[in-house]
Amino acid sequence: MRKPLIAGNWKMNGSLELLETMKQALTSAQVSSSVEVAIIPPFTLLMSAGRTLSDSAIRLGAQTLHPEPSGAFTGEVSASMLTECGVSHVLAGHSERRTLFGEDDQAVLARVTAALDAGMTPILCVGETLEEREADRVETVVLGQVKTVIDALSASQRSRLVIAYEPVWAIGTGRTATPEQAQQVHAMIRSWLSDKDPALGEGMRLLYGGSMKADNAAELLSQPDIDGGLIGGASLKPDDFIAICHAAG
């Protein structure tokens, strides 16, 4: 049985005030304990968030990390710095990192490995652009991104990974993949994982991300191979985020 995960990626948004409001709203909403909930605020909020959330079941995530443990990497943050803040989850390969910051599959793999070595749960983000979808390249692109990481990890490392399928054309655009489109890609990823190792396919949590909102979450989350959501815009609005969390329970 895969425990659904709803993770809110705040991107370069949010404040101490939103952190407090979100924590209080999530706590009083009494989201089912069968759902794992994580918020992923920007670096500047992580230390406070670790303290604020320490008496709750809400997990704390980071949006990226640098693969090296320390050194002359101005502006970067290492895995151990994140764990010191109480971070348990970290995104790797979000499409904004891939396109705006030039992270290729090898850079993503290095980040996944650093996160695993530090005991964190990496959320590996994969997904095709509109151009790639229209050129019938979804399978090649998405499985290529998955394969680079999975093939480089040991069996025990793989079992600690979460994968988020985020079609790039649906991120922040208001254009959501239909439940059928999303399910099709999720089933394809799971089938590839199962061919490699049946237990891996059965156990891997596959999240959908891309304009998931309060009014479309239930249908997306009811698909057999969708085990949760990575939420951008709607994760900044406590009522909407809570509605999505409830839809997962």
The dihedral built from the CA positions of residue 195, 197, 201 and 206, taken in this order, carries a sign that is negative
Instruction: Give 75 or 174: the residue with its C-beta nearer to ligand PEP.
Output: 174
Q: Which residues contact 174 (CB under 8 A, 6 or more apart)?
A: 211
Beta carbons within 8 Å of 66's beta carbon, 6+ residues apart: 73, 76, 77, 78, 111, 114
The smaller minimum CB distance to ligand PEP, of residues 126 and 212, is found at 212
Position 122 contacts ligand PEP (CB under 6 A) = no
169 annotated binding-site participant: no
Dist. CA 71–CA 128, nearest whole Å:
34
Answer for which of 232, 238, 244, 248 binds ligand PEP (CB under 6 A) is 232
> How far, in Å, CA of 71 to CA of 80, rounded?
13
Q: Is 61 annotated as a binding residue?
A: no
Q: Is 116 in the site for ligand PEP (CB under 6 A)?
A: no
Q: Does 58 bind ligand PEP (CB under 6 A)?
A: no
Count the neighbouring beta carbons within 10 Å of the beta carbon of residue 224. 9
Is 219 one of the annotated active-site residues of the chain? Answer: no
Task: Mark whether 166 is an active-site residue.
Answer: yes
From candidates 233, 240, 242, 245, binder to ligand PEP by CB under 6 A: 233
* Residue 233 is assigned to a ligand binding site: yes
Nearest to 4 by CA among 172, 219, 230: 230
Does 211 participate in binding ligand PEP (rule CB under 6 A)? Answer: yes
Interface stretch with ligand PEP, choices 61-69, 109-117, 129-137, 231-239 (CB under 6 A): 231-239
Residues within the interface to ligand PEP (CB under 6 A): 9, 166, 171-172, 209-212, 230-234
Cite the active site residues.
94, 166
